[in-house]
Copies of this chain bind each other. A is one copy, B any other.
Amino acid sequence: MERAIALSLENVRAASGGPFAALVVRNGSVIAEGTNQVTATLDPTAHAEVVAIRRACQALKNFQLSDCELYTTCEPCPMCMGAIYWARFAKIYYGNTRADAAKIGFDDSLIYDELVLPLGSRKIPMIPLMRDQALVAFREWEKSPAKTEY
């Protein structure tokens, strides 16, 4: 966590992005590091955790990180929590809280609040469309012999 905190400070001082950094660790060894690169790379998904997860998966040549731990300088936002669950981490260590992030102007807490609202009551309208047609690909997936499940 000391290393992650140092990286988060460097990221602010270098004006490379938000005050966030994350490390993927396996058996006590650092597999990958990430810092927030949203504004530097024009990628709203380039949060520290997502950057570290992508790099770790490339390093380990695996789309799952089930035997890894994540050290992140802030409680992950819903996007990063989703990425963490998809990568199937064993454990997460975090520094700052979502409330700390809200206090300095980041939307993490707002997004958590939005995700529990009914789809029709959210700030970004969500409109159902053509479900019957969309289901065809799901039926095809179920019977595909070539699929790789994840």
- Interface residue ranges, A against B (CB under 8 Å): 1-2, 5, 8-9, 11-13, 15, 17-20, 38-39, 42-45, 50, 53-54, 57-58, 61-65, 71, 73-75, 77-97, 100-101, 103-105, 107, 110-112, 114-116, 119, 124-131, 133-138, 140-142, 144, 146-150
Please state the number of chain copies in the assembly: 2
Given contacts A19-B138, A136-B9, A148-B15, contact A63 B78 (CB under 8 A): no
Contact A104 B142 (CB under 8 A): yes
Distance from A129 Cβ to chain B, minimum over Cβ atoms (Å)? 5
Task: Specify which of B1, B44, B97, B107 is in contact with A53 (CB 8 Å cutoff).
Answer: B44
Task: Specify which of B1, B12, B97 is in contact with A137 (CB 8 Å cutoff).
Answer: B12
Q: A-B pairs with the 4 shortest C-beta distances? A: A79-B82, A95-B134, A15-B146, A19-B137
Chain B residue contacts of A42, Cβ below 8 A: 57-58, 61-63
Task: Specify which of B39, B88, B107 is in contact with A63 (CB 8 Å cutoff).
Answer: B39
Question: Beyond the given A81-B82, A86-B107, A100-B131, could you list 15 further A-B residue pairs with CB under 8 A, ordered by the A residue number?
Answer: A1-B133, A5-B134, A9-B140, A39-B150, A43-B58, A79-B85, A79-B86, A82-B111, A84-B124, A88-B124, A92-B124, A94-B127, A95-B135, A96-B131, A104-B138
